[in-house]
Amino acid sequence: MKIAITGGAGFIGSHLTKAYLDAGHDVLVIDNLLHGSRRTIDPRARFYHLDIRDGKLRTLLQQERPDLVSHHVALYGQQDIPGEQPLANADVHVRGLLNVLESCVDASVSKIIFASGGNTLYGRVKPEYLPLTEDAPLCPQHPHDINTIAGEWYVRYYAQHHGLRYTILRYADVYGESDGTLARHPLSYFICMLQEQRRPVIRETPDEVRDHIFINDVVRANLQALTRGEGQTLHISSGLGYPLSQLYRLAAEVLESQIEPIYLFSSRTEATSIVLDNTRARHILDWHPEFNISTGIWRAAALLHLQAKPPVSLQMRVVSLQTAI
Q: Which pLDDT belongs to residue 78? A: 41
DSSP 159-222: HHHH--EEEEEEE-EEE--S-TTT--SHHHHHHHHHHTT---EE-S-TT-EEEEEEHHHHHHHH
Amino acid at 169: L
More confidently predicted of 265 and 267:
265
Q: Angle at the Cα of 268 (from 263 to 271), degrees rounded to 5? A: 75
Compute the distance between CA of residue 80 and CA of residue 83 in angstroms, rounded to an integer. Answer: 9
Task: Work out the burial of residue 291: count CB atoms within 10 Å of its CB; fewer than 13 is exposed, 13-18 middle, 19 or more buried.
Answer: buried
Largest CA distance in the chain: 58
More confident residue, 311 or 25: 25
- pTM equals 0.90
Q: Which helix (H) or strand (E) holds 319?
A: helix 312-324
- Any idea which architecture 2-172+215-236 has in CATH? 3-Layer(aba) Sandwich (3.40)
pLDDT band at 319 (very low <50, low <70, confident <90, very high): very low
As a whole number of Å, the CA-based R_g of the chain is 20
Tell whether domain 174-211+238-275+292-324 is in CATH 3.90.25.
yes
128-174 residue pLDDT tens: 889 999 999 999 988 999 999 999 999 999 999 999 999 999 999 99
* Residue partners of 314: CB distance under 8 A and separation at least 6: 250, 253, 254, 294
Please tell me the predicted confidence (pLDDT) of residue 290.
97
Average pLDDT over residues 122-128: 84
Q: For the chain, what's the residue count?
A: 325
pLDDT at 322 over 80: no
Question: Residue 310: what pLDDT?
Answer: 46
**How far, in whole angstroms, is CA 160 from its chain's centroid?**
26
Average pLDDT of the chain to the nearest whole number: 89
The string of pLDDT tens digits covering residues 196-211 is 999 999 888 888 899 9
pLDDT at residue 271 greater than cutoff 50: yes
Tell me the pLDDT tens digit for each residue of 78-104.
443 444 588 989 999 999 999 999 999
Supply the pLDDT for residue 165: 98
Question: What pLDDT sits at residue 269?
Answer: 59
Per-residue pLDDT band for 313 (boundaries 50, 70, 90) equals very low
Whether the pLDDT of residue 123 is over 50: the answer is: yes
- Domain spans of the chain, in order of start: 2-172+215-236, 174-211+238-275+292-324
Q: Mean pLDDT, to the nearest integer, of 175-200?
A: 88
Predicted local confidence at residue 131, as pLDDT: 96
Query: Does residue 248 register a pLDDT over 50?
Result: yes
d(CA 16, CA 69): 12
